[in-house]
Amino acid sequence: MSLDKYLANLDFNTNLLRRFAYLGNREQLDKKLKYLENIAERETWHFKDSRVTKGDEINVLFYYIVHTFDRCFEQDKVLVNPEEDAAVFNTGLLTPAGEEIYGLFVKSMTHDESKEWSNYWYLSKWIVRSDRDFMQLSLAAPKMASYFEDYNELFFDPELEISPNFDHIYDDNFERLPPEMQQMDKSVACQVFNGFLDHTIKRIKRNLRIPVPQFYRGKIMFLIPVKAFGTSPIVLALEKYGNGYRANTILTLNMAYNCARLLMKPESNWLLPKGN
């Protein structure tokens, strides 16, 4: 099979990692993720959330790996050697000793040659550069995925106006609103939300560490916590348009951390996950 043809025929409308390789069954994948968590620098990949089942405890890490691979693939940073039937990508994670961690793919033992695109690659293991399995390959060390060209993109401008599209927030994200707000008429809920947002804007102008950058759909955006009713904050996603920020969606804390962690490890207290 032509490897170039294989890569050219990947379906870009589907998650690239799952199209690129077989990840193993659920038990095998869980073991791989747990191993990666254990060899990487200590980090909380778990959420205390009643909606997250025990089997999905490392869903943040899985989300991170899936989308990191996608970005590496889009930037031609997934290195492939067809002669050695090996491919690698940089996870962006480090071991406690500071070694970069790579994902290693090998040719799948279950690949059916009669079916051109059937499970050619298999996610074999996580390795570091000093690992014997990596050093015996002729592949270079893969580079990290990158998400911005100018560091200024990561700085939130508190002087720009925030314009929320409350109709979209209320109609399309109703279940993510606090229960108290769900019980209100839409017009009343809008006034209450705007009041909470005004308070949040005042806090941001006094603490620029509150907005957290995220990477979503090829753009740098920002997440801010709109505190309401003493419960978990309403996480508002802001996209810069012209001379202002547009807000038309809200996220759960879990979703927000997933999006923010892809770009960098968040340090804002309001977004840090509480370990199980």
pLDDT of residue 276: 44
Half-sphere exposure of 260 (CA within 13 A, CB side): 28
CA distances from 29 to 24, 39, 111, 112, 211 (A): 6, 16, 18, 21, 33
Structure token pair of residue 175: 């279940």
Question: 10 Å Cβ neighbour count for 63?
Answer: 18
In the chain, what percentage of residues exceed pLDDT 90?
Answer: 50
Q: Rounded to whole angstroms, how far apart are CA atoms 275 and 265?
A: 15
Grade residue 150 by pLDDT with cuts at 50, 70 and 90: confident
Which stretches of the chain are DSSP H helices? 3-8, 16-20, 26-39, 59-74, 132-135, 166-172, 179-182, 186-206, 253-263
Q: Rounded to whole angstroms, how far apart are CA atoms 256 and 222?
A: 10
Per-residue pLDDT tens for 43-53? 888 765 544 44
Tokens 């009041």 belong to residue: 195
DSSP 154: G
Q: Rounded to whole angstroms, how far apart are CA atoms 82 and 19?
A: 18
Lowest mean pLDDT among 47-61, 75-89, 218-232: 47-61
Grade residue 202 by pLDDT with cuts at 50, 70 and 90: very high
Per-residue pLDDT tens for 151-180? 888 899 999 999 999 999 999 999 999 999
Q: Rounded to whole angstroms, how far apart are CA atoms 248 and 104?
A: 39
Question: Which amino acid does the sequence have at 25?
Answer: N
Grade residue 16 by pLDDT with cuts at 50, 70 and 90: confident
* Mean pLDDT across 121-128: 93
* Mean pLDDT across 25-32: 88
pLDDT of residue 273: 66
- Beta strand pairing call for 79-81 and 86-94: antiparallel
**Does the pLDDT at position 184 exceed 90?**
yes
pLDDT of residue 110: 66
> What is this structure's pTM?
0.82
* Mean pLDDT across 260-267: 86
Do the Cβ atoms of 4 and 81 come closer than 8 Å?
no
